[in-house]
Structure 1
Amino acid sequence: MLATSRLIVIGGSWGGIQASMKILQGLPANYSIPIVLVLHRLRNYEGNMQELFDKKLALKAVEIDDKVPLEAGHLYIAPANYHVLLEKDHTFSLDDSELENYSRPSIDVTFNSAADVFGKNTVGILLSGASKDGSSGLKYIFEKRGTAIVQHPGEAEISTMPLAAIQSTPGCSIMHVERIQAYLLTLHEH
C-alpha cells in the first residue's frame, strides 16, 4: 500500500519563504500529509533552504532527491536548478530540462505533476511572487477537482503571482496565511 493518498504542494517566489514559514510553523511533527515546497531562488545560489526550514519547523525538512518516497511529517523542498515531478509510485523525479516561466524549478511543472498523480487529493497553494509561474498549474489542480488556494494579494509581498492565479482560476480560495494554516490543520488526521 502506498504511504499516502494526499499531497500538499506549495509554490512561491519573492516573499514566498516568509509566507510559507508562517503557514508551516503551526503544523505538528506528525502532520499526516506530505508537503512539497517549490520556491524560486537564484540559479547559482547555494544557500541551504532545508536547514533554514528544519530549524524553525516541527516538520522534518528535506531537500528533494531523485526516487525518494513521500512520507507524512515531511516538508520536501525543491532543489535549485531542477524541476520536481511526482511519479505514480509516489516518489520524486528530478529534471534539468529547459526553464519554464523563466524558472527551474517551475511551480507549474510540480503542480501539474502532482495533479496527475494525486488528482482530487491534491491541495495546491500559491503564495507571493513576481511572476505568473504556478497559475496554470493551480488551474490544472482545480480542473482535476483538487483544492486551489491563493494567498490574499493584499497580504502578499509581491501580488503578481497571486493575481495571475486568481485570474486563471476564478474558483480558487483566496486566504490570508493564518487561514491557510488553519485549513491545513483541519486536514491533519490524528
Structure 2
Amino acid sequence: MNRYESLEGRIDAVVIGASAGGIEALTQLLPQLPASSKLTVLVVLHVPRDRPSLLVDIFRPRCRLHVAESQDKDPIQPGTVYFAPPDYHLMVDIGPQIALSADELVNFSRPSIDVLFESAADLYQRRVLGIVLSGGNHDGAAGLQAIVRAGGLAVVQSPDQAAVDIMPRAAIAAGSVDYVLPLDQIAELLAAL
C-alpha cells in the first residue's frame, strides 16, 4: 500500500499552476497519469500572451489522457488535461464547464493561477487538489489557500527542487498546505488518485 492510497476516489479535479520551469515539471507529472484515470486536470502555465501556445502539441504525445486547449463553454470531461490558452483566464463554472475571461491581469498574468484555483475551489470544494509548481512570482499562493479553505488538498513542489523556487516558497508562506513534495512523489500521489 502506498502512502497516498487513502486519497483514492476523494478528488474529482486537479488544478496545477506553474511558470518558469513549469514545462519541465509538468513533463515529469502529466505522463504518469494512467489512461484509466477519471480525473479532470486543469493547468495554467504562464506563457507569452501574444503567441499561440504549443502546450497541447508538447504534451499530447507524452500523455495517456486526452489533452486539449480550453475552449469557452466546453463541458469538462473526466480523463482530460485542459491547458489555459494564452491571454485568457481559465475558470471552471457550473456544469461543470470551461469559462474563459479576458479580465484584467492578476499577479501580472493572464492566465492567472489564482483565478483558476479560486474558481475550482468554489465549484469542486473538498473534491479538488491544487498543485503549485516552479515559478518566479506569487501567483497561485492565494488560490491555493482558497482551495484549503474549501476543504480541498494543497500540494506544493519542494522549493529546493524547483527550477525557480519563488512560487513554491510563496505558496508555503501563504498558509497551510497538505504536502510539500519532490516531483516524483507528486507523480506518485497523482497516480494514487
For normalisation by structure 1, the TM-score amounts to 0.93
Contact map agreement 1:84 1:105 (CA 8 A) in 2: yes
| Cα RMSD, aligned residues only | 1.0
Number of the residue aligned with 2:136:
130
Number of the residue aligned with 1:156:
162
Q: Pick from 44, 50, 61: which aligns with 2:56?
A: 50
- 1:171 deviation in Å? 3.3
Number of the residue aligned with 1:179:
185
- 1:45 deviation in Å? 2.2
Matching residue's letter, 1:62 = A
Using the aligned pairs only, state the percent identity: 37
- The one-character-per-residue Cα deviations of 1:18-55 (angstroms, maximum 9, x if unpaired) are 10120111112221111001000111122421111101
Cα gap change, 1:171 to 1:48, in 2 (>3 Å) = closer
Number of the residue aligned with 1:100:
106
State the distance in 1 between where 2:58 and 2:50 align.
18
List structure 1 segments (4+ residues) > 6 angstroms apart after TM superposition. Answer: none
- 1:172 deviation in Å? 3.3
State the distance in 2 between where 1:55 and 1:96 align.
29
Q: Helix, strand or coil: the match of 2:81? A: strand
5+ residue gaps in structure 2? Answer: 1-10
Contact map agreement 2:53 2:85 (CA 8 A) in 1: no
5+ residue gaps in structure 1? Answer: none
- The one-character-per-residue Cα deviations of 1:72-105 (angstroms, maximum 9, x if unpaired) are 2210000000001111110011000110000000
State the distance in 1 between where 2:92 and 2:52 align.
24
Matching residue's letter, 1:166 = I
Matching residue's letter, 2:153 = T
Q: Helix, strand or coil: the match of 1:43? A: coil
Please tell me whether residue 111 in structure 1 is matched to residue 117 in structure 2: yes
Matching residue's letter, 1:171 = V
Q: Helix, strand or coil: the match of 1:154? A: helix
Matching residue's letter, 2:47 = R
Matching residue's letter, 1:71 = Q
Number of the residue aligned with 1:15:
21
- 1:63 deviation in Å? 0.1
Contact map agreement 1:166 1:172 (CA 8 A) in 2: no
For normalisation by structure 2, the TM-score amounts to 0.92
